[in-house]
Chains A and B, each alone.
Chain A
Amino acid sequence: MSKGMKNIITKKNENLVLPIIWRGKEKEINYDIKLAGVNSSLILQMLLLGKNDDKVKIKINVDHQAIETKSKILVKGIVNDNASVDFNGLVKIEKGAKGADAWLSANLLLLSDSVKGRAVPALEILENDVKAGHATTIGKINETELFYLMSRGLSETKAIDLIVQGFLNGFLNYEK
């Protein structure tokens, strides 16, 4: 088991919301979450803000063990300077966990030329009566958006600020 692994096991009907913010301090973030309670749910929101030489390795395992369990893992990262982010997510739906609903997404916004980003959002599904999906995007600021804002008189820094806010907006206002 990795260093500093946090173990979470849900109870019946439990609805768990887990906000995590990384601002460069931790080198590793590890979560092992078992959705063991019937009809339990988990929302894990992770905000990653990396700059300078910040490096982080993230490991999140979610195991759907009971029926009617839901998980939603949303990772958003803004990576600047020489920072690097390595995200490893694994969502497993065990056999018999009927009605499970899993979503796993990781979006990384790269702000500098020397960043590194790695994302592995893995799924293991052993039950067919489920819904499961994942998505990843990695990229820089959209040039067209930037151009549009700057053509409206915003400075480049201002425009980037606004786009970054937009990137995080849906995330921060997220309601289940």
Chain B
Amino acid sequence: MKKSSTINNSYTYGFHKPEKSSFKTPLGINEKIVKAISAYKNELLWMREFRLKALKIFRKKNMPSFGPDLSKLNFDKLCFYNSPSSGKFRKWSDVPKDILDTYNKIGVPEAEKKFLAGVEAQYDSEVVYSNLKNHWEKLGVIFTDMDTAVKKYPELVKEYLGTLVPLDDNKFSALNSAVWSGGSFIYVPKGVNVPIPLQAYFRINAKAVGQFERTIIIAEEGSFVHYIEGCSAPIYTNDSLHAAVVEVFVKKGARVRYTSIQNWSGSVYNLVTKRMQIEENGVGEWVDGNLGSKVNMKYPALILKGKGARGELLSLAYAGKNQYQDTGGKAIHLAPNTTSTLISKSVSRNGGRASYRGLVKIAKGARGSKSHVRCDALLLDDKSRSDTYPVNDVQEQDVTLGHEASVSKVGEQQLFYLMSRGLNEIQATSLIVNGFIEPIVKELPLEYAVELNRLINLSMEGAVG
């Protein structure tokens, strides 16, 4: 049981520091701007070509034909690259003070002191702080920002970049490929177990800046890594775009867990493509929390490519006022005896809309595959909305597929019981909501779980009565 006193903690994440940019492209996107980004980053020809090719595809591709309305997204009014400082830092003492201030307020250094492996703090479009424990460097683990990886390990990057999320996959993956900046690159060699989670923290700070990080995780045979990515952005009124692409490669017998908490400010469009490919007997897990942003479209995919591969998705969405959370997940079974579990919980409140959009596909030949999908929705008032759009596509006989979903409101009996014990309506509702999302929260690292519960409690204030 969580103590109700956390309800009164004030939410301090809605702040921003003045912008201090050293390089910024003009508004809009065109060939010149893409070339300028590439030149500023001193990239080689292959990367520049990659960007320009992606730009052409971006122009040709249509907007998604489903889900939220994106017509207000004006690409001519967005800035596609903005770097806060020119250098990269390994020690906290080297990080510029205003940037450090920002992170201190979110608690990143404290988190690191406790049990986090390394921090990759992305402020605007550049990674400004990077610290990887020597221990893993000795084991051959690479944990760096993507820009550095392109320069230091070009062959490795070339081998994987864009192979799981091709340039022409969708409009926003093409856009990301054209203007990407930052993101993490993780390589875990064969048999290496990274016992402590690797963490990155992303923020948007410059007005109307699109942030386009690109992340690749490669877990070689029999290895294990847990990667955590969290976002918490200052509040701005101008629309901002965030379009990340994440590609995760889980080799034979390896296991990767990818935890992300998205808490963008209320003006952000978060349009993300995340995909994980799992080979023989590998295990891939997405733990995906969506709290912020105005419009969110995110469907982490599990591609079960090898025999006996397992995939799991835990997805949590919270839609408050003016928010449209269009989230879910995909499981694509391509090999025999693969299993997937997709669990989604959503809470809609104060006019928010939460949709589960899911796909389970079992291809011909994926004999003995099993998939289980469960999505539950909680509607807290009669202004809000909840949808479920599950697609179950089976092309093989020897399978077991189950899907179940429920939509409910806060039970009046539950509420009455708690209030009869002396809780007020807000506290009681918070407790019920926290209980509803508990199966997912318990999978989060401690400080995330605490932060999430706190956020839920805070957002409940003024919700009832």
Contact = CB atoms under 8 A, between A and B. Distances in A.
Looking at A98, A111, A127, the one whose CB has the most chain B CB atoms below 10 A away is A127
B234 to A, nearest CB: 32
B397 A112 contact: yes
Interface string B398-419: 1111111111110000000000
Contacts of B409: 128-130
B155 interface: no
A73 B188 CA distance: 49
B401 A136 contact: yes
Contact of B402 (A98, A122, A125, A137): A137
Given A138-B399, A139-B400, A123 B392 contact: no
B379 interface: yes
Interface string B364-391: 0000000000000101111011111111
Given A117-B394, A124-B385, A128-B380, A138 B401 contact: yes
Contact of B379 (A116, A120, A121, A125): A125
A130 B388 contact: no
B393 interface: yes
A136 B358 CA distance: 13
A113 B394 CA distance: 11
B395 interface: yes
Nearest to A133: B406
A138 B377 contact: no
B104 to A, nearest CB: 40
Contact of A136 (B379, B380, B390): B390
B405 A113 contact: no
A11 interface: no
Contacts of B403: 119, 121, 134-137
Contact of B391 (A120, A131, A132, A139): A120
Nearest to A86: B393
B37 to A, nearest CB: 41
Majority secondary structure of chain A interface residues (helix, strand, loop or mixed): strand
Nearest to A91: B388
A34 B407 CA distance: 20
Contact of A113 (B388, B397, B400): B397
A128 B401 contact: no
A125 B399 contact: no
A101 to B, nearest CB: 11
B394 A122 contact: no
Given A95-B382, A133-B404, A110 B388 contact: no
A78 to B, nearest CB: 12
Nearest to A127: B382
Nearest to A114: B397
A139 B400 CA distance: 5
B382 A123 contact: no
B400 A132 contact: no
Nearest to B384: A128
Nearest to B354: A125
A12 interface: no
A151 B7 CA distance: 60
B382 A135 contact: no
Contacts of A112: 397
A138 B392 contact: yes
Contact of A123 (B381, B387, B393, B399): B387
B179 to A, nearest CB: 35
Nearest to B382: A128
Given A118-B394, A121-B390, A135 B405 contact: yes
B397 A134 contact: no
Contacts of A138: 392, 394, 399, 401
Contacts of A114: 397
B240 to A, nearest CB: 28
Contact of A120 (B385, B389, B401): B389
Interface string A99-117: 0000000001011111111
A121 B384 CA distance: 21
Interface string B415-437: 00000000000000000000000
Nearest to B370: A139
A119 B392 contact: yes
A81 to B, nearest CB: 11
B394 A110 contact: yes
Contacts of A113: 396-398
B246 to A, nearest CB: 27
A98 B379 CA distance: 13
22 contacts: A95-B382, A110-B399, A116-B395, A118-B392, A118-B394, A120-B392, A123-B387, A124-B386, A128-B380, A128-B382, A129-B382, A131-B407, A132-B406, A133-B405, A133-B406, A135-B405, A136-B401, A137-B401, A138-B401, A139-B401, A140-B397, A140-B398
- Which are the 4 A-B pairs with shortest beta-carbon distances? A128-B379, A136-B403, A132-B407, A138-B401
Interface of B: 377, 379-382, 384-409
